Structure 1
Amino acid sequence: MARGDVELHPLAHVRNRRGWSMEQLAHALSVAARRRGLIYNPARDRIYKWEHRLATPSEDYQMLLADVLGIEQSVVVALGWPWWLPAFDAPHPFGTRGSRAALTEVLVAQAHPDRRAFLALTTTALVGVARDWAAIEPARLSSALRGRRVDAALLTWLESGVDELRALTNASGPECIDLVHSLLRTSVKLIDTATYDQPAGRRLHQVAAAAAQCAGWLHFDQREYAAAQRHWNVALHAAHVAADRDLGAGVLSDLAYSATWLQHPGVAIEILEHAHSRTRSAAARSLLDLRRARALAVLGDTHATGRALSSAEKELDRSRPGAAPAWVSWMSPADLAVDAGRAWLDLDEPVRAGQSLDEGLRLLDPARARTRSVVLAYRAETALARRDVSAAADDARSALDTALGTKATRCVTLARGTLDRFGPHREHPAVRELLAYASASG
């Protein structure tokens, strides 16, 4: 959306970004029609009606608009009007109006699911979001929105609900998505229509941020990367309005983690640099350092990875029990060991990787099945690197069983992808049994 006017229709945003007048767009549609052997001569008033939501373009006009904008017709059909327009690839400005626009956009997107595997924002835009977040102070909330007043009891109930959902999503996964979306919709509606003072407004935005952050992870685990990124972007906006710098840094760390997972480690490092500039919690700084280590390992920087892991360990030691923000309360020595193991594996040090992964698995909370499936997949890869094929096959089978139990697509994909590494060992008895079992499990 446009930075100066978040209420612009997506078509107006697209047109303005290209420097087109309504007349110029109408002429372009006429030219596109002639190329298809059609006769359409729209005037300026037709474009005006579309942009002011007085009319919706017919299927033919949407086809011609897609031609003009270079959009595949399949995208037009899949996403529908106006969500196929290339108007949602630029971040909203930070502040109350921009955050409300982002919150509204994600609610509409819930009603029009986008299953794209590619990201909603470009990697450049992602870094820009992180930079803007680090540089801009939260705007003052308006305390005179229409609707009923939000009282302390309702706020406490919402905060309790989001804490329970956060714990539930860590254990139950995709079954919770409707509950999380419902809480997000409720908090957005209150933000948009209720009456509240500034402290209550901050708390409402913290609830919205936490719900959006949970939703982001649930979508990410289903490999719905655009939806995940959209929810994390909303969470960052809401945390900004709430003046919760640590929560904002945590959301940026989620964006960075996803960037590393999707093979953009350089982008992850840039995002984390901005995130680290404002966070105050030792547990949060530990998580940022740990995710920085993961990205540096992918880039092959052994020395910098070691420094980042050492810093993560020191910050975690500084964290006082019960003092960590709720969103990072899960951070533990187990997580440090697991990610350290993955980092050493990426740096081709399988012995150190195996030691760390063994420790992480030993310390990990049994309820965290998704993390357990990932650790087992990493440990299988580590065992293969040490040429212990039997141990690798055992871990790969356990990883697949655990991942299937979580129903998290990302975990299942990782576990099945690990099986491809057994190609050179297909004749090994343990591998033959593993591949037969994987085939039978679907």
Structure 2
Amino acid sequence: MTHPWPNWLPHPDEEEASVLNRRNFIGGAGMAAVLPVISATPASATGRPPLVGTETVQYLRTAVLPLTTMPTVERQHVIPLLDSSLSTVTGLLENARYDTRTGVGLNHLAAQLAQTCGWTRFDIGHQDQASALWNLAFEHARAAGDRDMISSIIADFAYQGLWTGNAKESVRLLEGALARPMHATVRSLLHLRKARAHAALGEAASCRHHLAKSEGELARTSADEPPSWAAWMSEADVEIDGGRCLIDLGEQAPGMKRIDRGLSLLTKPRSKTYAVFQCYRAEALVHEGQVEEAAAVLSSALGTARQIGATRCIDQVAQISDRLRHHPTVNGVEELLSNVKAVQAAA
């Protein structure tokens, strides 16, 4: 028997359910702090709101969607442009006229932009703003009827649950999301998130079950390409997160082996992911007493995190580095601690 669907999200089978009553506390004031003010759309000569056509949606997609797939090291420089693009699209939805097809296109674009904007806030540690933006993405994905994207956004919330110590909530979210059909790549992602949550809770059997499911779904061939916002999901992610699962379950050696293999598969443009995964490896090294190697890995992760402006990655490095304070004479430790202190002071 699964847990009930969380009361702040609609059940997958309830199209008209009311939404977001728990996390919506950020709603009005919170969103005002996150995004620029949306100016009213000018009225046409007839006094009626202007009509938006499919050409406008296509132009917007061509102009702004590339922003959502930029490497983090580059995307950090265009956060204001992402925010204003989202405000432009939501402004059209609120103030313009459009037919059903155009409305679906605008909602889908708004969902993609809001999801990406949520990640920009998550990466700098602004969890309330990330939640508010993912709520907005959820609403627009639901309006667009994009079930796969809804599942992806739920996976984002589940990942946030892991980072904020709410693994039980992550499990509940993912049980509901996995109850319906979706693209195999998206299903692989959800199973991987669920494996991580079960591992954090020490539930080994459930963790292994969902890890195997994630591997199986990713290996499935499909006539349809994965959605663009899920195309990053790869064997490297399964290997590294699978390794982290094993480490959380106390299996250090096989966990390290999987992480090392995953890191070798990871493509360079995913620098933020690389920094996070390096930290996973460093934690395992610290646990194994390999202090010098851990310091070297953490120094590399710190440099990457600083380059891409990912505060959460810097904090992750700092937390692990703190465990090395009792080894000040080990090569690299003193320099690492000094660099962490300097980076945090400059933040």
Band the TM-score falls in, shorter-chain normalisation: 0.7 to 0.9
Q: Does 1:369 align with 2:271?
A: yes
Aligned residue type for 1:383: L
Say which of 283, 286, 311 aligns to 1:384.
Answer: 286
Q: Which residue is 1:161 aligned to?
A: 63
Q: Residues 86-108 of structure 1, C-alpha deviation per residue, up to 9 Å, x if partnerless?
A: xxxx9598759979xx99x8676
The answer on whether the counterparts of 2:195 and 2:207 sit within 8 Å (CA) in structure 1 is: yes
Within-5 A mapping of 1:198-237: 198-237=100-139
Distance 2:254 2:66 in 1: 36
Q: Which residue is 1:410 aligned to?
A: 312
TM-score by length of 1: 0.67
Say which of 172, 197, 203 aligns to 2:99.
Answer: 197
1:183 shift after superposition: 1.3
In structure 2, the gaps of 5 or more residues are: 1-6, 36-47
Distance 1:374 1:422 in 2: 18
Q: Residues 334-393 of structure 1, C-alpha deviation per residue, up to 9 Å, x if partnerless?
A: 111121122112112111221111112111111111111111111111112222222111
Aligned residue type for 1:400: L
Distance 1:319 1:163 in 2: 26
Distance 2:213 2:51 in 1: 45
Percent identity over the alignment? 33
Change (3 A) 1:215 1:323: same
Aligned residue type for 1:345: I
Q: Which residue is 2:260 aligned to?
A: 358
TM-score by length of 2: 0.84
Please say which structure displays the higher CA radius of gyration. Answer: 1
Q: CA RMSD of the aligned region, Å?
A: 2.6
Deviates more, 1:335-344 or 1:202-211: 335-344
Within-5 A mapping of 1:1-400: 109-113=30-34, 147-168=49-70, 170-320=72-222, 323-400=225-302
1:321 shift after superposition: 8.0
Q: Does 1:420 align with 2:312?
A: no
Alignment length (residue pairs): 319
The higher-RCO structure (CA 8 Å, 6+ apart) is 2
1:110 shift after superposition: 4.4
Q: Residues 404-439 of structure 1, C-alpha deviation per residue, up to 9 Å, x if partnerless?
A: 111111111111111012133233233234334444
In structure 1, the gaps of 5 or more residues are: 1-89, 115-145
Deviates more, 1:218-227 or 1:159-168: 159-168
Distance 1:318 1:418 in 2: 37
1:219 shift after superposition: 0.5
1:275 shift after superposition: 1.2
The answer on whether the counterparts of 1:216 and 1:229 sit within 8 Å (CA) in structure 2 is: yes
Deviates more, 1:221-230 or 1:170-179: 170-179
Aligned residue type for 2:304: T
Change (3 A) 1:375 1:321: farther
Q: Which residue is 1:142 aligned to?
A: none
Change (3 A) 1:169 1:434: closer
Distance 1:98 1:187 in 2: 21
The answer on whether the counterparts of 1:272 and 1:288 sit within 8 Å (CA) in structure 2 is: yes
Q: Residues 73-126 of structure 1, C-alpha deviation per residue, up to 9 Å, x if partnerless?
A: xxxxxxxxxxxxxxxxx9598759979xx99x8676444359xxxxxxxxxxxx
The answer on whether the counterparts of 2:240 and 2:262 sit within 8 Å (CA) in structure 1 is: yes
The answer on whether the counterparts of 2:31 and 2:132 sit within 8 Å (CA) in structure 1 is: no
The answer on whether the counterparts of 2:65 and 2:113 sit within 8 Å (CA) in structure 1 is: no
The answer on whether the counterparts of 1:107 and 1:185 sit within 8 Å (CA) in structure 2 is: no
SS in 1 for 2:233: coil
Q: Which residue is 1:401 aligned to?
A: 303
Change (3 A) 1:180 1:106: farther
Change (3 A) 1:313 1:161: farther
1:288 shift after superposition: 0.2
